[in-house]
Amino acid sequence: MSDQNVESAGQVANLPDADAVRSSPPAAIVDSLGAIVVVLDKSGRINWANHSWSTTTGIPLDDAIGKPLLDFVTDPSEKRRVANAINDAIAQERPLGLDCPIHCRNGTDLRVKWSFTVTRDHADGGLLLTGAGVEVTELYNEVVRLKNELSRQKGDEPAATPEKERRGCARVPYEQVVHIAPVMDGQLPQRDAFTPVRCKDLSQAGFSFFQPERPGFSQLVVVFGKNTKQCFIHARIAHVTQVKLNGNRLFVVGCEFKRRVDQHFAAGNHHGPSYQG
């Protein structure tokens, strides 16, 4: 899917009928998901997409199927980064996680976090890349805002704006106290479940924190900000590493952001912690 591999819309030939693709067996399942789901061929063209693509981007399926995904990534540096990542995933036949802006029909860019897997077409054995994407624009902007705030506190140059920041996995130190609460049995936590922890670092994709014991849960809600400007984020634990700090055994818990859940905690009895630091 490099500049040499990517096919423009005008070069596409022998495309499957759009209606036939949309009525394929997976449609009933993936259309019930909140995520955007796309199937790309080895050239990066969209062979199939679910209806969440249209409802999220405003782009009709008929205007997307058969076109390269890169047609909807307008920034040149982002286009190169995404093309290289997809080329590598297909060449090595390995899973791929990345985020990128998708240019919507209304002229705005939405940040979408993708998780791709490589499969093979049952008909001809060709490589396919199946991706599930979640729109994370607000979360992305909030993390950049937090990084800018930290930079100002340190007297450093501000972090890049969302449009200019390109290294999605770059982490910065964020030695602040935040509150977390475990997500148990798929249920978001109540107010009294939140406890303070010390952050280690932060990126647009996730954060890590110190804990004296290995966590007994796999998902959590973390709160950034103070009182009326709190940001509630649902995250999953991606890795746990044991370290020694000042002679004490601690665990560094690395988490991946999933989605913001502010609305949940703004309604009814589901309120997060009230704190000043």
Q: Are both 250 and 142 inside the same structural domain? A: yes
* pLDDT, position 103: 94
Q: Are both 53 and 112 inside the same structural domain? A: yes
Q: Are both 124 and 216 inside the same structural domain? A: no
Host domain of residue 175:
138-266
For residue 153, being part of any structural domain is answered with yes
For residue 276, being part of any structural domain is answered with no
Last residue of a domain, one of 75, 105, 135: 135
* pLDDT, position 156: 53
CATH code of the domain in which 67 resides: 3.30.450.20
> For every residue of the chain, which 3-state class applies, written as one string?
CCCCCCCCHHHCCCCCCHHHHHCCCCHHHHCCCCCEEEEEECCCEEEEECHHHHHHHCCCHHHHCCCEHHHHCCCHHHHHHHHHHHHHHHHHCCCEEEEEEEECCCCCEEEEEEEEEEEECCCCCCEEEEEEEEECHHHHHHHHHHHHHHHHHHCCCCCCCCCCCCCCCCCEECCCEEEEEECECCECCCHHHCEEEEEEEECCCEEEEEECCCCCCCEEEEEECCHHHCEEEEEEEEEEEEEEECCEEEEEEEEEEEEECHHHHHCCCCCCCCCCC
CATH code of the domain in which 162 resides: 2.40.10.220
For residue 274, being part of any structural domain is answered with no
Q: Are both 24 and 123 inside the same structural domain? A: yes
For residue 273, being part of any structural domain is answered with no
Q: Are both 151 and 229 inside the same structural domain? A: yes
Q: Are both 157 and 126 inside the same structural domain? A: no
Last residue of a domain, one of 101, 135, 169: 135
For residue 271, being part of any structural domain is answered with no
Q: Are both 44 and 101 inside the same structural domain? A: yes
Q: Could you give the number of structural domains in the chain?
A: 2
Alpha-carbon dihedral 35, 36, 41, 45, rounded to 10 degrees? -170
pLDDT tens, residue by residue, 234-268:
999 999 999 988 888 999 999 998 888 887 877 55
For residue 272, being part of any structural domain is answered with no
For residue 160, being part of any structural domain is answered with yes
Last residue of a domain, one of 70, 101, 135: 135
Q: Are both 254 and 145 inside the same structural domain? A: yes
Q: Are both 146 and 131 inside the same structural domain? A: no
Q: Are both 152 and 231 inside the same structural domain? A: yes
On the CB side of 97, CA atoms within 13 Å amount to 7
Q: Are both 261 and 143 inside the same structural domain? A: yes
Q: Are both 106 and 17 inside the same structural domain? A: yes
Which two tokens mark 133?
Answer: 């994407």
Residue ranges in the chain modelled with pLDDT below 50: 2-28, 32, 158-169, 269-277
| pTM as predicted | 0.56
* pLDDT, position 134: 84
For residue 52, being part of any structural domain is answered with yes
